[in-house]
Amino acid sequence: MKVGRPDQRGQFRIAGLPAGRYLAVAVPSIEDGAWNVVDMLTRLRPLATSVTLADGDRKPLELKLANAGS
């Protein structure tokens, strides 16, 4: 699991991911440690975008902000 923050243009870059299938989701904010809570991940899963990366892939994604809930 990796977390990124936007740059000045509002873009995120997540580097160093090995090849594989990932779920990506953008949330306006999230409480520290909430990424490790199964209930939070379960709520975010249907809002996530799936992406598959091969070695060396770079793929742009357009994500809409999801409400992480509380």
CA distance linking residue 15 with residue 31, whole number of Å: 23
Q: What is the pLDDT of residue 23?
A: 93
Q: DSSP letter for 9, please.
A: T
Residue 41 structure tokens: 């991940």
Enumerate residues 6+ apart whose C-beta is below 8 A from 29: 68
Per residue in 9-43, pLDDT (tens digit) is 888 888 889 999 999 998 888 777 777 788 888 88
CA distance linking residue 1 with residue 5, whole number of Å: 14
Q: Is the pLDDT of residue 70 over 70?
A: no
